[in-house]
């Protein structure tokens, strides 16, 4: 088993990565402060529930935990205020109290939703992240939890750190190939912003990662989580350095908003966004070749790098204006200077962003 720590003084917590961890959940839940005296609420989605919910419920109940569960539809549409209200109802009807905890069993959508429920139920109770996707290695670490508004993604949220991230890699073996690639997008992102050697490692081991080779996947998850944990430990509430983790997200969120949460998986939209950020970086002075290298790495993981021509440029620009990274009339972008090094640029010319969008549509 691999173990990391997100260091936040009294709110520090471990990330455990390994095989067979779901079966050992009761001992880790007790070890890291969850009580058997109050009910646990497991929040999951329909897809994950069919595979893992029953076994986890039985394992926890056999160990003496009281467990209630709530299942939401799969997909980004579950990060809504209406589903959030349903989850609050489930918590109230399940008689959760201040000593209870919420368990997020699933991918990034479930983690964000369940975490926001935990952050706001009775003004905040404990929760545990139990990710079942590669993509969730990013979203399950760092305590950013949220739901979406029709006008903007993740605009309604909080910072609420989990007690524990329990990452059973066995759950990744059933992921469809497209979901695997989408998850690896965020893994590569961590290398692109902070670790050049890891970014090239992702490219060199792309075939093994896509095949879910346990050794390659274990190392990739450990290093990806480790980079994020290092950054979060220094900037928990995104007052500075943590914003680097948004590489590719300004364009990516706009794609999701305009295309709808269905045409692209989150990691796919972020992949196109990272290609755009590299292109923008070259326009703002980064060395030539940055874009080509970035695109090659993304393509090695079978990720998209071009903007669909049917997405309206004006609509995309408008969506970026609603993004949290649009401040005081200026566009804020995370711009790579080279592979493995990125910076926050707070006054990016809107004309340059529009030009990048058009070039992405042409595949240039």
Q: What residue numbers does the annotated binding site cover? A: 74-79, 108-112, 132-133, 144, 153, 171-174, 186, 249, 266
Q: Which of 126, 194, 253, 325 is catalytic?
A: 253
Torsions phi, psi of 137, nearest 5?
Answer: -65, -25
Residue 130: count of CB within 10 angstroms of its CB: 31
Structure tokens at 114: 């369940």
Q: Is 354 designated active site?
A: no
Q: Which of 126, 148, 163, 186 is catalytic?
A: 186
Binding residues for NAD(+): 74-79, 108-112, 132-133, 144, 153, 171-174
Q: Is 246 designated active site?
A: yes
Beta bridge partners of 45: 72
Burial zone of 299 (CB within 10 Å; 0-12 exposed, 13-18 middle, 19+ buried): middle
Structure tokens at 169: 């890699």
Q: Which of 46, 222, 238, 355 is catalytic?
A: 238
Q: Is 242 designated active site?
A: yes
Q: Which of 137, 223, 249, 325 is catalytic?
A: 249
Please tell me the distance from the alpha carbon of residue 123 to that of residue 193, in angstroms, as a whole number: 34
Q: Which of 189, 190, 194, 228 is catalytic?
A: 228
Q: Is 266 designated active site?
A: yes
Please tell me the distance from the alpha carbon of residue 229 to that of residue 248, in angstroms, as a whole number: 19
Q: Is 238 designated active site?
A: yes
Give residue for tokens 């989605």.
Answer: 45
DSSP state of 52: I
Q: Is 268 designated active site?
A: no
Q: What length is written for the chain? A: 364
Residue 276: count of CB within 10 angstroms of its CB: 27
Q: Is 30 designated active site?
A: no
Q: Is 144 designated active site?
A: yes
Yes or no: say if 17 and 23 are a contact pair by the CB < 8 Å rule: no
Q: Is 123 designated active site?
A: yes
Please tell me the distance from the alpha carbon of residue 269 to that of residue 102, in angstroms, as a whole number: 29
Q: Which of 126, 137, 144, 223 is catalytic?
A: 144
Torsions phi, psi of 129, nearest 5?
Answer: -95, 125
Please tell me the distance from the alpha carbon of residue 164 to that of residue 146, in angstroms, as a whole number: 18
In order of 35, 44, 46, 228, 312, the CA distances from 23 in angstroms are: 18, 17, 20, 27, 48
Beta bridge partners of 44: 71, 105
Q: Which of 57, 163, 189, 246 is catalytic?
A: 246
Q: Which of 160, 194, 205, 242 is catalytic?
A: 242
Q: Is 223 designated active site?
A: no
Yes or no: say if 218 and 226 are a contact pair by the CB < 8 Å rule: no
Catalytic residue ranges: 123, 144, 186, 228, 238, 242, 246, 249, 253, 266
């Amino acid at each position: 088993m691999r173990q990391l720590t997100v260091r936040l003084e009294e709110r520090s917590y471990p990330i455990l990565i390994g095989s067979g961890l779901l079966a050992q959940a009761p001992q880790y839940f007790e070890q890291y402060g969850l009580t058997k005296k109050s009910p646990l609420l497991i929040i999951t989605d329909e897809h994950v529930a069919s595979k893992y919910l029953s076994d986890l419920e039985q394992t926890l109940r056999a160990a003496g935990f009281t467990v209630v569960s709530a299942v939401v539809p799969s997909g980004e549409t579950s990060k809504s205020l209406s589903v959030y209200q349903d989850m609050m109802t489930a918590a109230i009807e399940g008689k959760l109290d201040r000593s209870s905890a919420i368990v997020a069993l699933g991918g990034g959508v479930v983690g964000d939703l369940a975490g926001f429920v935990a952050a706001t139920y009775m003004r905040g109770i404990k929760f545990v992240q139990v990710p079942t996707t590669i993509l969730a290695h990013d979203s399950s670490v760092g305590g950013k939890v949220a739901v979406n508004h029709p006008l903007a993604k993740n605009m309604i949220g909080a910072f609420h750190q989990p007690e524990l991230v329990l990452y059973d890699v066995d759950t990744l073996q059933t992921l469809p190939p497209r979901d695997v690639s989408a998850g690896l997008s965020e893994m590569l992102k961590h290398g692109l912003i902070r670790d050049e050697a890891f970014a090239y490692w992702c490219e060199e081991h792309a075939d093994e990662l896509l095949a879910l080779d346990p050794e390659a996947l274990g190392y990739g998850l450990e290093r990806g989580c480790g980079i994020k944990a290092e950054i979060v430990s220094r900037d928990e509430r995104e007052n500075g350095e943590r914003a680097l983790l948004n590489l590719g997200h300004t364009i990516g969120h706009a794609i999701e908003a305009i295309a709808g949460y269905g045409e692209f998986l989150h990691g796919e939209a972020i992949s196109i966004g990272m290609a755009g950020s590299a292109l923008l970086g070259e326009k703002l002075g980064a060395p030539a070749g940055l874009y080509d290298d970035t695109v090659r790495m993304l393509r090695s993981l079978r990720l998209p790098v071009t903007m669909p021509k049917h997405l309206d440029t004006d609509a995309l620009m408008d969506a970026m204006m609603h993004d949290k990274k649009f401040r005081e009339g200026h566009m804020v972008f995370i711009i790579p200077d080279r592979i493995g090094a990125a910076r926050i640029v707070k006054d990016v010319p809107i004309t340059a962003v529009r030009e990048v969008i058009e070039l992405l549509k042409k595949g240039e």
